[in-house]
Amino acid sequence: MLLARKTLSRRAPRLRDPERTRQRLLRAASREVYRYGFQSAGLDAILAAANVTKGALYYHFESKEALGHAVIEEVVAKLQRDRWLVPLQRSKDKEPIDALIGVVQAIPARPKDVKGGCPLVNLTQEMSQLDEQFRKRLERIFHAWQEGVAAALRRGQHQGTVRRDLVPEETASLLIAMVEGYEVLAKNAQDVKVWNMGIRNIVGWLSSLRAPGKRRRS
């Protein structure tokens, strides 16, 4: 019955798989935190969702805070990279403004995403004032985000497709503020329509950043 086990490296249903357990915990924790916030997230609920016991949790993480830190660094940060930095990196063939418009429009707009809001905003609102450890980790993500957008804008300025009168870092922060702001409005309304309206307005504003004159090639 268990003869097929062997040591086939992958897919062998080992009963002990610490890395897998850790990932299950991170996954369950990020969901619970996303939904209820860090402070109100219950360890017991996380354990139940991950199908893991308390002993396993405290083997992998030394406290609830440590678990929260790992969620930020490994789940939230990755999410932000995948949605913004990677796409921006990959679309260096396109004009930066078009790339940014594409990225903004690609932000998930399913009801559950809109109703849950942006994980980054959720955690910032709850924790930045209360816990410096959380704040620093979140700030790194914001900074990378802003830097990524600013880099794209700078590239556009060099190639002449983006207005030269704007400061890339500040314009980047304004874009981020708009996105986060609309996430808040849409979360409050619990309505996808609000989010879609926000995207339209943001895209319109992004278009206004193009350098004047130079007609774009169709």
Partner DNA sequence: CCAGCAACATACCGACCAGTATGTACTCTG
Partner DNA sequence: CAGAGTACATACTGGTCGGTATGTTGCTGG
DSSP-assigned beta bridge partners for residue 54? none
CB of 135 to a copy of itself, least distance (A): 7
Tell me: does residue 80 bind DNA (CB under 7 A): no
**Nearer to DNA among residue 57 and residue 97 (C-beta):** 57
Rounded Cα–Cα distance for residues 33 and 46 (Å)? 9
Closest distance of CB 185 from a copy of itself, Å? 6
Q: Which does 63 bind (CB under 5 to 8 A by kind): DNA, a copy of itself, none?
A: DNA
Is there binding between residue 52 and DNA (CB under 7 A)? Answer: yes
When binding is defined by CB under 8 A, the residue of 43, 86, 176, 203 that contacts a copy of itself is 176
How many C-beta neighbours within 10 Å does residue 212 have? 6
Show the binding pattern over residues 96-135: x = contacts a copy of itself (CB under 8 A), - = does not: -------------------xxx---xx-xxx-xxx----x
Residue pair 64/56 in contact by the 8 Å Cβ criterion: no
Angle of the 132-159 helix axis to the 119-127 helix axis, nearest 10: 140
Q: How many residues bind DNA (CB under 7 A)?
A: 24
- Our CB check for a copy of itself shows the closer of 61 and 145 to be 145
Is 185 near a copy of itself (CB under 8 A)?
yes
Buried b (16+ CB within 10 A) or exposed e, 107-142: beeeeebbebbbbbbbbbebbeeebeebeebbeebe
User: Identity (one letter) of the amino acid at 82?
Assistant: D
Q: How far is residue 55's CA from residue 53's CA, in Å, rounded to a whole number?
A: 5
The contact mask relative to DNA for 6-45 (x = CB under 7 A, - = no) is -x------xxxxx--xx------------------xxxxx
Exposure string over 60-96, b if 16+ CB within 10 A, otherwise e = bbeebeebbbbbbeebbbeebbebbbebbeebeeebb
Nearer to a copy of itself, 35 or 90 (CB): 35
Question: How many CA atoms lie less than 13 Å away from 164 in the CB half-sphere?
Answer: 4
Site string for a copy of itself, 36-55 (x = CB under 8 A): xx-xx---------------
Of the residues 53, 63, 159, 190, which one makes contact with a copy of itself according to CB under 8 A: 190
Residues that bind DNA in the complex, under the rule CB under 7 A: 7, 14-18, 21-22, 41-45, 52-56, 58-60, 63-65
